[in-house]
Structure 1
Amino acid sequence: MSMSLKYSVGDLTIHRVIEQETSFVPALEMLPGLTPEVLTENRAWMRQAKALDDNDVLLLCFQSYVVKTPHHTILIDSCIGNDKPRPNRPKWNMKTDDTYLGALGAAGFSPGDIDFVMCTHLHVDHVGWNTRLENGRWVPTFPKARYVFAKQEFDHWSAQNAKTEIPPFVDSVLPVVEAKRHEFVGNDHQIGDHVRILPTPGHTPGHIAITVGRGKDDAVFSGDLMHSPLQTLYPELSIKFDVDPAKAATTRRSFLERYCDTETLCCTAHFPSPSVGKIRRKGNAFVCAAV
């Protein structure tokens, strides 16, 4: 297992920090375009890949990636978090475990080592450890970090939150802004000569992928443009949580085309372990092949 937690590519090291790997939503509910027939055709390999459980529920990994460049330590997507009221998701509701910070420590990092936190988007399971509860207040978990948010994504959730309060936005994003630890950025933003943004809208309006490597994409963090390896074989399958399912499908195919048959490591947010692979063509579709 430990081997699949650390990758070296170019002059970077990439660490997986796993908070949960667990059953999530039934495949046929999560992917409204999926038919029972197509599920049946793919059941065997998906079960073997630990992408599907015995009840046809998708198995997902919830994790952050920590990228060490020669200059910075960057945490991508801060997972679920502790002490957060998430009544609709029992496994995430008011958690108090030490799994995440323990995994961060096992990778060799303390919260104070992180220079930048980047979020591919601002959904509940990508912002949770942005903040932690201290004396009844939400404070930034990573005390020295600048938190980099895509402006388009922040503006979208800000507008939504003005209509109906969005708890993860209120407890895991706004306190960072109030603490003035944030940076709102456009799609041309770079951190040093190693970290760039690739706009990948569809799952949310301002969703981004993050590419890393000096002068070339040694690795890419795909965020939620795909959730299950079934979506590389069937890129047209979008999930029920996608704000714009048609746009998500187009984005996914163009992303897979872009990285297909390159040496770029694709670091997915939610594919079952090892979660990281290289995109390879398979017929008119793709696979993410473990390295």
Structure 2
Amino acid sequence: MVNENERVQRLMLGDVEVVRLVEWHAPFAPVSGMFPDVAAEVWKDNEDWLVPDHWEPVTGLAVLALQTWVLRSGGRTVLVDTGVGNGRERPGMEPFHQRHGDFLDLLARAGIRPEDVDVVVNTHLHADHVGWNTVDADGEWVPTFPRARYLIPAADDFHYGPSGSYGNGLQEVDRLIYEDSVAPVHRAGQSVLWDGHHRIDDHLVLESAPGHTPGSSVLRLASGTERAVFVGDLLHSPVQILDPCCNSAACLAPEQAAASRRRVLERACDERELLIPAHFGGSGVVEVRREGGGFGLGGWMTAGRG
């Protein structure tokens, strides 16, 4: 659904250049299953702006983007989430299983080589946020970005690592994700585990926002008068701005996720932060405003191509 010429987009926020890399933007899953708490009439009542970038009414599918945000800040290159990756075993996750995408080609189109990347941020450790952490080198998974520090939420690393949930055999796919996309980064000595807050530079700071996963996080940007917050999977659809109590089916701790979502939305309104979720289609960047006792959408920011 995204034009080939629009797969690499750029905008400036103060002194920070933001580059959007869109791997795909397409119908993904039924909204009834993905957002079980969102009433059917909410989609219909907001059809005029949800279609075509966020909802496909004929099929009832949510439309999502798979994308990475690249930040050039303080002389360094920072990647925010790394997509699905290629050649991964993801049983039960059909869109991600044995995928073969062109992420590295998109990165090259943006003028970035793997060795140019200084920092990789994994907002959390789900399959579609860590896949390009690593590449297959003659049958061995190795870090894609040989010079980068990988910032990994400690709570997620424990939960999905051998000593946490995957160690207790809860889900086979969690073990696979960790072993091919996270453990190799640890073995290479390139991982940094953090909790609470972690400052990257003068413009960028990570903050915990748990609920979707135990270590889910957001990345706040402040440069000059510009403010933005990269919220990962705190929101999957703009309808969650209208009602932040509505979680996705993938939220592990629903009440905690809703509380984190409301807190981040309130701050975005108060501090005039642009909201940049991991999977929003359209321009991917939206203003949030207060409406009555809740929230509404302001304008969408359009980035430049290439």
TM-score normalised by the chain length of structure 1: 0.93
The aligned counterpart of 2:11 is 7
- Secondary structure of 1:14's counterpart equals strand
Aligned pairs for 1:9-158 within 5 A: 9-48=13-52, 50-53=53-56, 54-97=58-101, 99-158=102-161
Aligned length: 289
Question: What are the superposed Cα offsets for residues 70-117 of structure 1, whole Å, 9 maximum, x if unpaired?
Answer: 2311001011100111232333211233x2111111111111110000
The aligned counterpart of 1:162 is 167
Structure 1 pair 288/225, CA: closer, same or farther in 2 (3 Å)?
A: farther
The aligned counterpart of 1:285 is 295
User: How far does residue 216 in structure 1 lie from its aligned partner after superposition?
Assistant: 7.4
Amino acid at match of 1:252: R
Structure 1 pair 42/182, CA: closer, same or farther in 2 (3 Å)?
A: same
Amino acid at match of 1:169: Y
Provide runs of 4+ in structure 1 moved above 3 Å. 1-4, 214-217
Q: 1: distance between equivalents of 2:196 and 2:211?
A: 15
Amino acid at match of 2:168: K
Amino acid at match of 1:139: V
Structure 1 pair 96/113, CA: closer, same or farther in 2 (3 Å)?
A: same
Gaps spanning 5+ residues in structure 2: where?
302-306
TM-score normalised by the chain length of structure 2: 0.89
Task: Provide the alpha-carbon RMSD of the alignment.
Answer: 1.9
The aligned counterpart of 2:217 is 208
Structure 1 pair 192/285, CA: closer, same or farther in 2 (3 Å)?
A: closer
Structure 1 pair 85/33, CA: closer, same or farther in 2 (3 Å)?
A: same
Structure 1 pair 3/279, CA: closer, same or farther in 2 (3 Å)?
A: farther
The aligned counterpart of 2:304 is none
Q: 2: distance between equivalents of 1:67 and 1:196?
A: 12
Amino acid at match of 1:56: G
Percent of aligned pairs with the same amino acid: 35
Q: 2: distance between equivalents of 1:189 and 1:117?
A: 13
Q: 1: distance between equivalents of 2:115 and 2:298?
A: 33
Q: 2: distance between equivalents of 1:59 and 1:123?
A: 19
Q: 2: distance between equivalents of 1:169 and 1:204?
A: 14
Q: 2: distance between equivalents of 1:256 and 1:268?
A: 12
Q: 2: distance between equivalents of 1:163 and 1:201?
A: 21
Task: Indicate if the aligned counterparts of 1:131 and 1:171 stay in contact, CA closer than 8 A.
Answer: yes
Task: Indicate if the aligned counterparts of 1:211 and 1:217 stay in contact, CA closer than 8 A.
Answer: no
